Amino acid sequence: MPAVGRFLVCVTVVGVAAVASSPMAWADFVPGGKGTGSETQVNGDRKDDEISASAGGVVFDRSKNGTGTSVGPVTSTTSWTPPACWYAPKYTPAQLKAYLEPIWAADSTGYEWDATQRDRYVNGHPYKDFNKDKTGKGYWWDSYVDEAFPPGWDKCTKPIFWVDKGDPPPADIENAVTPEVLGKLAYKEIRVPGTKVTLAPAGTTKVNLKTWAWLDGAAFKPVSVTASVPALGISATTTATPVSLKIDPGTADAETYPASGVCEIKNGQIGEPYAKGKANETPPCGVNYLRSSGDSSYPLKATITWKIHWTGTGVPGGNLPDGTFGATQDVTVQEIQSVNR
């Protein structure tokens, strides 16, 4: 059934006009709808074998994430993005029956669609009586969606399907949760510290004066997020490790140290703090402005690159695209004043 048709059915069945105003609202009430990763929508009486919201959807442990007011998500250095929607356990046999039968009884979906659905889930083509004879031996899987609704959130259109406990999901269903998919979902939840660099001189520097730049190494340690599906007993941990700082001075009239502007992280240190007596030395990480900023300032941008890797239940894991996170700060550059006598 097309998405638009499902939307109209939902409004009729639920009978609440407000449902139509939110993709989240109507998706959670339609067969094959795009529920969120933290919710399980069920109608009817609760059953002893029902899936709880925390067991069926993806659960994130963010306790080892970056903290503070300046943290933010990384941006992939490639065109790759984490899955916008995925499939995971959502219903037991009793829950699916309680969910679908009221929709069919409302007689709002049309005889043909109702008959097709009954044939699929009740009449044995391929499932019989909602798989009640398999209660406790598996789950009905359905689609979930990233709550931010990024591009692609509506691409998980496979009908609700059954997976026995211990079996992998069908190979032809993209983004059905596996440890690898969980690792990709955890990528989006990574939060890393902000990147305001310390400069010497601070705030205001001079033309042709080597300005040292460094970051607090203690703030730039690996961070990680674990994604799991309790109903399946699988999880994956995605870890981001800082590897380099890139400085963009905000003007072409400047030199960076090193020339590439990329300061490698060494021994947990990003750059080197300026120390008295080093004014004539070239900083391992820094910038030299060749022209005054006049009455304004230059927008120096500091960007950290993070290597990202995942490991999961029963598998060694692998690398995901590097991520970056940066911040801009204003630097005022003045001419050196000389006095003629």
Per-residue three-class SS string for the chain? CCHHHHHHHHHHHHCCHHHHHCHHHHHCCCCCCCEECCCCCCCCCCCCCCCCHHHHCCEEECCCCCCCCCCECCEECCCCCCCCEEEEEEECHHHHHHHHHHHHHCCCCCHHHHHHHHHHHCECCCCEHHHHHHCCCEEEEEEEECCCCCCCCCCCCCCCEEEECCCCCCCCCCCECCHHHHHHHHHHHCCECCCCCEEECCCEEECCCCEEEEECHHHCCCEEEEEEECCCCEEEEEEEEEEEEEEECCCCCEEEECCCCEEEEECCEEECCCCCCCCCCCCCCEEEECCCCCCCCEEEEEEEEEEEEEEECCEEEEEEEEEEEEEEEEEEEECCCCCCC
What's the whole-number average pLDDT of the chain?
A: 83
What pTM did the predictor assign? Answer: 0.81
Query: Model confidence over 66-119: pLDDT tens digits?
Result: 888 889 999 999 999 999 999 999 999 999 999 999 999 998 888 898 999 999
Q: What pLDDT, on a 0 to 100 scale, did the predictor assign at position 341?
A: 42
Per-residue pLDDT at 340 exceeds 50: no
Q: What pLDDT, on a 0 to 100 scale, did the predictor assign at position 92?
A: 94
Query: Model confidence over 162-196: pLDDT tens digits?
Result: 999 999 999 999 999 999 999 999 999 999 988 88
How many angstroms separate the most distant Cα atoms in the chain?
A: 103
Query: Model confidence over 219-257: pLDDT tens digits?
Result: 778 999 999 999 999 999 999 999 999 999 999 999 999
The residue among 198 and 56 whose pLDDT is bigger is 198
Per-residue pLDDT at 39 exceeds 90: no
Query: Model confidence over 120-173: pLDDT tens digits?
Result: 999 999 999 999 999 999 999 999 999 999 999 999 999 999 999 999 999 999
pLDDT band at 279 (very low <50, low <70, confident <90, very high): confident
Max avg pLDDT among 43-52, 59-68, 119-128, 260-269: 119-128
The residue among 276 and 253 whose pLDDT is bigger is 253
Sort residue 35 into left (φ over 0), alpha (ψ -120 to 50) or beta: beta
Find out whether 197 and 220 touch, Cβ atoms under 8 Å: no
Q: What pLDDT, on a 0 to 100 scale, did the predictor assign at position 203?
A: 76
Residue range 331-341: average pLDDT?
72
- CB-based contacts of 167, cutoff 8 Å, min separation 6: 138
pLDDT band at 50 (very low <50, low <70, confident <90, very high): low
Q: What pLDDT, on a 0 to 100 scale, did the predictor assign at position 194?
A: 84
Residue range 200-210: average pLDDT?
90
Q: What pLDDT, on a 0 to 100 scale, did the predictor assign at position 11?
A: 30
Query: Model confidence over 287-298: pLDDT tens digits?
Result: 999 999 999 999
The residue among 289 and 27 whose pLDDT is bigger is 289
